[in-house]
Structure 1
């Protein structure tokens, strides 16, 4: 099919392409309209969802407000004292205060109409005893047992409707049993009830103002299918003729978009119902626009095809015939056609192109040579950068220079810090991977000189090392990072003075080091995580899952690789008490045993201080 199409004349190909384009345009318009229709319906659904979610949020906020108000009164110490006292004089004395408390709480909520406090004898203390309050209290007394001690669970009542001079008003109540929480055991148990009488005026206004579309209905429906509040007062048929009538739920998913939310606290449902026909009516403009656009595009395509045929297709045919003659007669021949416009310009440039082919080839070779020179210069620059990397001895010499400056200017702190840093740096880069305990402890002492200067003596250190282990061999730079971690993560964050202790002893042919601080400690969950990762340090997959624990895992892994699985470190800590790191080595000196060869490079550990892996 492809070969047959290519064999057709250009004019015939043009006609086929135009016809195909027209079909594609019509198809694209149809698909686009269908997609737009679907998108608009989905957007309406999302908007309805957002509206219902917002309404749900407001209702839940109202519920929480009412709950908070009820519990604030129920567990007020003075309210409970007012309920349990039998002294009427004392009741009268506290009544004004109780009324002030209830008035203050009611004033903070726009949903509370009135508050009622009832003791075990049925004596009521009522805020705002108007006609509506008395009317609804009588209904509540009849329908709910809130004056009996078997009323144990706070609950919302059903909505209650009443017609008055201002129109139809909806109320509901929140009933909270009061249990004594004071220190008098004889009054333990139920001592009264709080009734929070709420109005739906704010909720009525909020729902009635919802206008997603002209015929959209947003209803608040009780569990018994009674419509409590609606945004559409002109409801159709018997289904929604009056808010007090039963609501018969008729779902027609092909005609309506439904969004429903259940509010369990008040046993109600929010329903939003949008006619799909309204959405489609709003799309008539787009439908007509698509049709008009398609017709215009078809006409334009036909006109463009005619212009192309006259201005391009016919001249191209002449050029093709001329090129055939050049190929058949003489390759040095040029196209000699008297054509104007862009086609004439193309003809001229074809002839010029043939003359410049050789020049273009020469420029290509020149460009390749230049690219090669640039690449060569780049490699030379990279080599030069590698050769100019900083030599570690340069850093050591710099520290020595700083020490000299400190001596010259008689600044003891600079001399002390630079000297200690130089010694530590020289110690860390020396070739020996295994060192004596004495050398490691000496490095810790030099490090602590720096810490003493930095914290101005706020942190003190105790070193108690058994003389018998000073000549024992341990891996280099194992204890110092743990000491550094204790300072920066235990003691630095502690208010006041702190103490760092380093102990070393022999126990059952093992050397045990304890690095202990009285700092802020580690939370239990974090401590469990750290010890778990340390325990699994030989598992390469677990070793690198948490970058915060690589330092501790590396130290533990070094010890195990050198001395075996029976050795390593563990952490003990209590929040606000301190942290203890216990490190175990075999008792091994140059006289009684041979240290196995290291299986790693020191460079893997020098830059991974464990200070970055504790909280």
Structure 2
């Protein structure tokens, strides 16, 4: 007895410990994998944002340079010998300069350069930068539009420079002759802010022609390149330039967190083992040994002296006392009475549980109804009339659904449908329209409660919601002698032939095809079964769908 209980208890305790330990390591592996994937995705997204910013900046520089290159005043400034004409040209270029500043917030200066002179339109650049521009033009004369980068040691600033040749466009002796260059000088201020604000990613902006790092965020990292994995590097080239963005996720943070979690998992496993050993000893002393003694005494009972000697002052001792009481009464009780008492007791418990469930089922709907009324009041206070109307309609619909009546008038059912479709029209604005064609003489006839709303809901969310244009729902009622026909028509996406055949089979068999797990099929079959339960097997639902037109037909008794 003792060994059997001990082994069972050991298995019960060891299995959760092993499960928790393996689960911890599995979760650790998944967390690490997800973190690496998230880090790589974040790195690519960050590089893409920086790339977009640089592309916009370079494109604005190119457009601005093209405007200046085709300006007669820029050409006049480079070709004219007259200081008066040059001053006039500068004055007329002021509007273009202001516009360039608006479209390129990082613009530092615009220069008009020829072989003889250089005219700075702002005058904000350093002598080193001006010397570099002149030297570049001299060494690269005749080149087309080009981007280059320059690092100014004195100011510790990096600039993006765009050279565009200027040709004479006025028909003169100099027509189509190159007059010089328009040079757009822009800073990397915005890009630098984006790079330095990036966390857990080492980012470099590299000039591949000069093989030089222009901007990086190494100051944001304690270990700099340590803790990065070059195999996860992301590289993105900036179009039309010699610039490349290189991003490397900082994996040492992930490794540190994983190591911490792994250590915690090991510590937890050791703690569980120690705790398990303590539980084994405690359970053996307080439960297993007393139970074993009690078991031996029960086996040794004889009817001449049928008594249990119990010494434990706990539930096990109480068991021994109750056994003695049972032995005292066993001669005067009979099996039939014991079984009858047990059945009565079970029935009483079942009755209590049923009553409690009924009370709870009433409390929850009333609580939700009261909360909807509260929401309506708050909406009216704040002037949100549509929300107040929705709350009112929801409360009415909820109150209607929990009414005890199994049958309602067609008018009551249509009123609830009208409230429901109002909420749908608010949800979809002008996309969904509905019309109700029911003669007044049919308004008072009785139908099973809440059979229209689920079908309307299917039409909206399985048909009309998925179409591009406007959706319509039409509800009609027609009497044929002792039969009432209700029609719900919509112009949604329709139902495929195979699916329609499956639904029709479910309606004919009065059974839900659980293999399909189709909400539309289940809803229609449930309503069909409800109608047959209340009205009879000759009544129920039919469904037809052709192209984008679906019709659900209710066949009911005409009764008032």
TM-score by length of 2: 0.49
In our comparison, the structure showing a higher alpha carbon Rg is 1
